[in-house]
Structure 1
């Protein structure tokens, strides 16, 4: 049986993707440890960040799309955040059933506190890496994400 072989670029990308998986797991674990004193997890912090960075209040489906995440998982986390008073809901004038998710004052305070913890952590993590190296890695990851989104392979 004939086996198709990876190109050298395919081999290099496979190694890169495996390291991305490992790095993602380590980043999530480190994030969980970092924000645990605030009653947050990496997932909750990520959702709060998506709400903060949105130009206007968005429904859960849009937040999930922007994060490249599963809508049901984002809904579950948003419900937990709402139960803890970190987010609330507003009427969506464009869709009766898809309420808009908004940050509460308590949610803003939690997000700001997380950023105060993240700044020294990320600065230490970046120590010894050049801005150019980081920007190159960012371009590669962005290109991969774009290709995956365009092919539908990243969708759930």
Structure 2
């Protein structure tokens, strides 16, 4: 295996491991709020502004079908609602309800505690470097996923 092939494999395996670790942590943080990590992810995408399902999928790196399924569940459970989209009649906007915002608010204290512990472990500068490296890696991979 070439060095570049080994680097790609290492990056992918590292990302898969990180994903698993973050999902396990997210499960623990989201459970007391009565939501799943996937619900949290979709609700989190629309906290600042309502988005269509395709927009959520793009921002979160998920499939449109997966987001649609979660969005419908969130609406069914009263955690989100569909609103008319002035830019597109059929692609409604998803936004959290008061109950959805309350669920996210229940996660905030545990999220802050974890953030403080993680930054305490890494140090502020190294945490920023890790974040920047993840952004660079994601941007580089966008060149391959946006342009097959």
TM > 0.5: yes
Q: How many residues align?
A: 148
Distance, in Å, in 1 between the alignment partners of 2:64 and 2:32 is 27
- The Cα of 1:154 is off from its aligned counterpart by 9.4
CA 1:124/1:64 → structure 2, altered by over 3 Å: closer, same or farther? same
Structure with higher Rg: it is 1
Range moving further from structure 2, 112-121 or 10-19: 10-19
CA deviation digits over 1:31-76, x for unaligned, max 9? 11221121111111111111113xx321110011111111110111
CA 1:146/1:101 → structure 2, altered by over 3 Å: closer, same or farther? same
4+ long deviations beyond 6 Å? none
Partner SS, residue 97 of structure 1? coil
Answer yes or no: is the 8 Å Cα contact 2:33–2:104 preserved in 1.
no
1:5 aligns with 2
**Higher helix share goes to which structure?**
2
- 2:24 is aligned, of 20, 29, 33, to 29
TM-score by length of 2: 0.89
TM-score by length of 1: 0.85
- 1:95 is aligned, of 75, 88, 93, to 88
Partner SS, residue 125 of structure 1? helix
CA 1:129/1:154 → structure 2, altered by over 3 Å: closer, same or farther? farther
Answer yes or no: is the 8 Å Cα contact 2:46–2:95 preserved in 1.
yes
1:86 aligns with 79
